[in-house]
Amino acid sequence: MTDNITSVGGGSRPEAGVSALKGRTGAGAPAETRGKTTIADGVVAKIAGMAAREVPGIHSLGAGMARAFGAMRERVPGGGGGAVTRGVKVEVGERQAAVDLDVVVEYGVSIVDVAGDVRTSVISAVERMTGLEVVEVNIAVDDVHLPDEEAEAEADEGRVR
């Protein structure tokens, strides 16, 4: 069993066979340090999307065209699979992640407060579930949902159900 030696600057090098990223190796090493875990961008995007949608004051995610295409896709059987990640873009590295969100907020809420709550929720969920450090959560507010828009959308669906 060998211990990891990490050096910053200077001329000293870790001993041969010791990885600075994997921790201790060998039969006596803890199980959590044996091997490498990779997390796909789509996984982080789903976690971020779900965490953002749970915040009060968020009506939906996605810019105008993305929402329109998503609504059409959801009406087609088997076509609504990307709804959770609509409006979410992520960049995932080995230890860090960055998240970009396009949101629609409810009319009457404080956009600043909702944006802060979304950041807190997304950072907490992603860091807790993945162990990645979230370096930034950028939020673009694309629209405000008005209460009467819901009634108009239902009236446009048609007479027969």
pLDDT confidence tier of residue 76, bands split at 50, 70 and 90: low
The whole-angstrom separation of Cα 22 and Cα 131 is 15
pLDDT confidence tier of residue 52, bands split at 50, 70 and 90: very high
Average pLDDT over residues 42-62: 96
The whole-angstrom separation of Cα 133 and Cα 124 is 10
pLDDT confidence tier of residue 148, bands split at 50, 70 and 90: confident
For the cut 90, the answer to whether the pLDDT of residue 87 exceeds it is yes
pLDDT > 90 in the chain, percent: 53
Amino acid 78: pLDDT: 55
The whole-angstrom separation of Cα 149 and Cα 136 is 32
pTM of the predicted structure, to 2 decimals: 0.68
Average pLDDT over residues 107-114: 97
Amino acid 151: pLDDT: 57
